[in-house]
Amino acid sequence: MRKGTPTCPNFNNEKYAWKPDVDYRKHPELYRIGKGEQGVLICEPYKSEIGQNWRSKTEVIAVESSDKIYVQFLDYLASNDFVGADMARKYLQMGYTRARRHANYKGGRKYDAENKYALLERGTGEQVKAKADAIFYAKWKAAEHHQTYAAMKTD
């Protein structure tokens, strides 16, 4: 795949809710929760604050990473910063999904870009990643079910 080629061929940048040039701390009204992990790699300053702690190479690294991100999640809640809390929750979710993909597929690649994006064989990944995904999964669910977060999300 060429550098700069979108991974989603029909992606519409104009309609995408999250913009890289917006400071979502200064403009939380522009933030959209979205589905799953949408916006997680775009929304600043949270991307820079949380992303530096996001690692899942081994079980030990996943524990350290998920703990740091969960503390950030709690700090954002304590500061009444829903956008930051939601972004931290998304990073925990992404830790789970990425580790899971690496556990299922060699190199974490699910589709073959050289073969019209055909689905690759499942079960060829690294089983050490299954332990990392379980760690992130527990923290993601703890964040998602946190009472303060849930109340802020519905407001």
User: Which of 117, 51, 111 has the alpha carbon at shortest distance from 84?
Assistant: 51
In the predicted model, what is the mean pLDDT of residues 60-85? 97
Range of the domain at 129: 36-154
Residue 2 has pLDDT above 50, yes or no: no
Residue 84 has pLDDT above 80, yes or no: yes
Q: Is residue 138 a part of any domain in this protein?
A: yes
Question: Per-residue pLDDT tens for 3-46?
Answer: 444 456 666 666 777 888 899 999 999 998 888 888 888 999 99
Phi, psi (deg, nearest 5) at residue 112: -95, 100
Q: Structural domain tally of the chain?
A: 1
Residue 91 has pLDDT above 90, yes or no: yes
Q: Is residue 121 a part of any domain in this protein?
A: yes
Q: Give the C-alpha separation, 145 to 36, whole Å.
A: 15
Q: Is residue 50 a part of any domain in this protein?
A: yes
Q: Is residue 53 a part of any domain in this protein?
A: yes
Q: What is the pTM of this model?
A: 0.83
Q: Give the C-alpha separation, 140 to 78, whole Å.
A: 18
Q: Is residue 19 a part of any domain in this protein?
A: no
Q: Is residue 24 a part of any domain in this protein?
A: no
Q: How confident is the model at residue 144 (pLDDT cuts 50, 70, 90)?
A: very high
Q: Is residue 28 a part of any domain in this protein?
A: no
Q: Is residue 104 a part of any domain in this protein?
A: yes
